[in-house]
Structure 1
Amino acid sequence: MFWKRKKRETAEFKCPECGKVHSEWPALTFKSLANYDFLSDKEKTELGKLDSDFCEIHYEDQIHRFVRVTLTQKVNDTCENLDYGLWVSLSEKSYSDYKSNFDNEKHETGYFGWLCNIIPEYRDTMSIPCNVMTKTGNNRPEIFPHQDFDHPFVKDYYDGITKVEAEKRINEMLKNVG
């Protein structure tokens, strides 16, 4: 168990990567996207290009393009939110625009994208449509799932989740990392 409670109700966790104790909730991050994870090691070497912010998969007849994004999940019974580090696919035009403006601290725009991670608490979360909004200051873009898309993940995004559920998700992810 990575959580311990103090009298003032501050959650703490020990990070399995750095070994330090943190008092804020960690972001639930995915280092890569499901489309890349599904590739064999040979395919990753031959077809894939993955870094911390961009991924391309070069198939014989097309290139799939992805960027790393954030999502902030409302937690109803606390003042904290649960942050995710996710991946979305973008069109060639949107990907090129984002990549060419990656170092532009004043670049603000929106794109359409598809979620490309499988979030364990939900059935298949691949291909949930999202608005992808860039931010000034070179922060990663934030995504907003389309509210009219019928999926439990989208419903929870707009309605919020409980603190117990948020802590369960954090503990589960930390258990799988450590």
Structure 2
Amino acid sequence: MFWKRKKKVPSEFTCAECGKIHSDWPALAFNSPTNYHNLSDKEKEEIGKLDTDFCEIHHPDQIDRFIRVTLTQKVNDICETLEYGLWVSLSEKSYSDYKENYNNSNHEVGYFGWLCNNIAEYGNMLSIPCDVITKAGNRRPEIFPHQDFDHPFVKDYYEGISKKEAVNRIDEMLNNLG
């Protein structure tokens, strides 16, 4: 994540990247997929490849491929949304297509992916099926969890969360920054 706590949410935040104070809610971003995060430092060096938008883990028998995406969570009792920066795994074919068209500002396509981050309030969220939709203008793809998948995160995505819950999530992530 890229934010440092300045005051109680949703007041102001000092951005760890630019050093400026922002008054908007921060995006809750993960620097890597959980699969990469859980590797030892030695494994990251030997079998992992991570940059700001792509991640690969080269196991002896397979390669796991991930891309960075966004998710917009509806907040019911205010005119705000909670933004997430997450990672999904893609098939080799989808990953290759996305990577080949990464700089194509007109590339708009859908892929199937699996969510690869956990949000504390939901416990294990790995392998929630998602539609991954690329966007024109080289913006990060957005994900939409499959509505028929039985998980509290999916239910909250479609029904929305309260402002109090959104503020709690922001506080939780900001308090856990290393």
Amino-acid identity (%): 69
Q: What residue identity is the alignment partner of 1:167?
A: V
Aligned to 1:12: 11
| TM-score, normalised with respect to structure 1 | 0.93
Give the deviation of 1:116 after TM superposition: 0.3
Q: Which runs of 4+ in 1 moved over 6 A?
A: none
Equivalent pair of 2:74/2:157 in contact (CA under 8 Å): yes
| TM-score, normalised with respect to structure 2 | 0.93
Q: What residue identity is the alignment partner of 2:14?
A: C
Aligned to 1:55: 55
SS in 2 for 1:97: helix
2:115 is aligned with 1:81: no
Q: Any idea what the Cα deviations from partners look like across 1:97-135, whole Å, max 9, x if unmatched?
A: 000000000000000000000111102000000000000
Give distance in 1, aligned partners of 2:12 and 2:176: 14
Aligned to 1:121: 121
Q: Could you list the runs of 5+ residues in structure 2 that have no partner in the other structure?
A: none
Give distance in 2, aligned partners of 1:13 and 1:173: 15
Equivalent pair of 1:3/1:171 in contact (CA under 8 Å): no
Give the deviation of 1:34 after TM superposition: 0.5
Give distance in 1, aligned partners of 2:15 and 2:77: 27
Give the deviation of 1:12 after TM superposition: 2.1
Q: Could you list the runs of 5+ residues in structure 1 that have no partner in the other structure?
A: 6-10
Give distance in 1, aligned partners of 2:161 and 2:60: 42
How many residues in Structure 1 have an aligned counterpart in Structure 2? 173
Equivalent pair of 1:16/1:174 in contact (CA under 8 Å): no
SS in 2 for 1:71: strand
Give distance in 1, aligned partners of 2:153 and 2:142: 16
